[in-house]
Structure 1
Amino acid sequence: MKNIQLIIGLLLTINIACAQNPNKKEKNMQDLPKTQVQVQEGYEIATLGAGCFWCTEAIYQNLNGVEVVLSGYSGGHVANPTYKQVTSGTTGHAEVIQIQYDPKVVTFEEILEVFWSTHDPTTLNRQGADVGPQYRSAVFFHSEDQKEKATYYKSKLDESGAFNRPIVTEITPFSNFYVAEDYHQNYYNDNGMQPYCQFVIKPKLEKFKKVFAEKLKD
């Protein structure tokens, strides 16, 4: 696998024509499909699936410009699902994080850079030992701007050969977000000594902090 951060970093320097079109501005957050959380004024929202949400939450909690990280479920057909239902693989939901971020500090492109650098987007419905559609790689876009950027970078990463296999990340419209049970929130910080945290989350977090040192919170 090549240096994903370097490749995405180079892509970030390229202007996307459609993103520069003044007639295609990002939708006002009030016009987006409803989420169960209140979005702070001046902040934007992103909903991402990258395997177990405990891992993804721990990473984005340390990214400068990210104010709120919530673990939950998106993309399914069952209202108010429980963790047990989602892990059965029958509800259609993915484990996701929904983040609120300050676009003056961190851009959606940088959020995508972290996203594709911290999980394997080439394994369908799987991240490591976590198997099932609930662990799929997914970007649930909240606007045409997010859709265009996610689609663009996915295509360019595939063309670059950054990964040895095609990227299977699902890029689909946001439709719902259900906040996961309380014990799933802030999981790594509250349960850091548990085996899954020590052997799965900690190595990913340490690698992230090393690669993205200049983008970490103080």
Structure 2
Amino acid sequence: MSTNLQVATVGGGCFWCTEAVFQEVKGVEKVVSGYAGGNVPGEPTYREICSGLTGHAEVIQITYNPDIITYQDILVIFMTTHDPTTLNRQGADRGTQYRSVIFYHDDNQKALASEVLKQIQSYYDDKIVTELSALPIFYKATEEHQNYYRNNTTQGYCSFVIEPKLAKLRQLHADKLA
């Protein structure tokens, strides 16, 4: 394993979907589901996040090897496997916890993310509403939310919501798959 690993934090609706997408990408070492961007003190629970009242977004932290995949490639995959044009919504999931967001870790990530957002806009008819913010505290979700798709492939949500996102990933980014 490379000692030059880097971390990206993104939210594109339900973290089960984005987690499943990035677990298939070459150069991704680890994906952790969690929460970030809230405005209440203390560590939030899943139930509190789902209420939409804490201000947190469901996000994933992607640990990746930049010698294999770039930060820009991660963002392009992210931006093309969810709908970044719907405010606080992904499919049937509605609320600020399901917003499209890129949490940057430093000024370099901020600049690169801003450039990717500009470049990817032409891919969409509607305006991209993805939030670009500095990473606040990241809270890891409980174990039952980690590796959700891999552990629950026969569940309806996985079949009807996650699998179409994986199909899109495989169609658009086959060259980036593990």
Q: TM-score range by the shorter chain?
A: over 0.9
Shift of 1:157: 2.9
SS in 2 for 1:71: strand
Aligned to 2:161: 200
- How far the C-alpha of 1:204 sits from its partner, in A, is 1.2
Structure 2's unaligned 5+ residue stretches are none
- Say what the alpha-carbon RMSD is for the aligned residues: 1.1
d(CA) in 2 for partners of 1:123, 1:44:
28
| Separation in 1, partners of 2:10, 2:22 | 11
Tell me which residue corresponds to 2:138.
177
Alignment correspondent of 1:50: 12
Question: Of 54, 59, 71, which aligns to 1:96?
Answer: 59
Deviation at 1:210, TM superposition (A): 2.5
SS, match of residue 99 in structure 1:
strand
Indicate if the aligned counterparts of 2:79 and 2:120 stay in contact, CA closer than 8 A. Answer: no
Asked whether the equivalents of residues 35 and 140 of structure 2 are also in contact (C-alpha less than 8 Å), the reply is yes
Distance 2:63 2:130 in 1: 21
Give the deviation of 1:97 after TM superposition. 0.4
TM-score by length of 1: 0.78
Q: Superposition pairs for residues 106-117 of structure 1, below 5 Å? A: 106-117=69-80
State the distance in 2 between where 1:70 and 1:212 align. Answer: 21
SS at match of 1:64: coil
Rg larger for: 1
Q: The residue matched to 1:168 in structure 2 has which SS?
A: coil
Equivalent in the alignment of 2:25: 63
Deviations 1:58-102 (A, max 9, x none): 000010000010000011123211100001001110000001000
Matched to 1:85, the amino acid is: E
Bigger Cα displacement from structure 2, 71-80 vs 123-132: 71-80
More strand per residue: 1 or 2? 2
Give, as a single letter, the amino acid of the residue that structure 2 aligns with 1:107.
Answer: T
Q: What secondary structure does 1:193 align onto?
A: coil
Task: After the TM superposition, list the runs of 4 or more consecutive aligned residues in structure 1 that deviate by more than 3 angstroms.
Answer: none
User: Any unmatched runs of 5+ in structure 1?
Assistant: 1-39
1:125 and 2:88 aligned: yes
Match of 2:107 in 1: 144
Task: Tell me by how many angstroms 1:153 deviates.
Answer: 1.8
SS in 2 for 1:54: helix
How far apart, in 1, do the equivalents of 2:14 and 2:5 lie? 25
The answer to whether the 8 A contact 2:14-2:58 is kept is yes
TM-score by length of 2: 0.96
Letter in 2 for 1:210: Q
Q: 1:135 aligns with which of 71, 95, 98?
A: 98
Distance 1:206 1:66 in 2: 18
